[in-house]
Amino acid sequence: MMPRMNDTDALARLAAVIESRKPANGGDPEKSYVARLLHKGPDAFLKKIGEEATEVVMAAKDCEQGADVQKLVNEVADLWFHSMIALAHAGCSPADVVAELVRREGLSGLEEKALRKAQAREADA
């Protein structure tokens, strides 16, 4: 299912909130979870991404055993949220990710992976 316009708008709105919570933009680590993670530095939000990724894997495995699919959706939302914090820290946005997915549209995953490996080899040479 393709995202509806308001769905991508929701990502843009969330990205704007995350941006506003950066300490450099006045985000207060005492009042904002996002500001606190960003204030602590990359290790804090990267740790959360790792935790959330593990929870996504566990929820997906549980779905295979008949667990409620909503748990998987919730965990993926947590992973996306924390990934958006990493994107903001790096000066990127969800729109950058969407643009990359659009660029890959119609490419075979195997071909795309081979192309990235070839480009990496060229860059190393």
CB atoms within 10 A of CB 10: 13
Task: Answer whether 8's CB lies under 8 Å from 98's CB.
Answer: yes
Q: What is the DSSP letter of 31?
A: T
Tokens of 100: 């990359």
CB neighbour list of residue 53: distance below 8 Å, 6 or more residues apart: 79
**pTM score, two decimals?**
0.82
Q: What are the backbone angles phi and psi of residue 45, rounded to the nearest 5°?
A: -80, -25
- Has residue 38 got a pLDDT over 90? yes
**In 3D, which of 69, 74, 36, 37 has the Cα closest to residue 55?**
74
Residues above pLDDT 70, as percent of the chain: 94
DSSP 23: G
User: pLDDT digit string (tens) for 42-85?
Assistant: 999 999 999 999 999 999 999 999 999 999 999 999 999 999 99
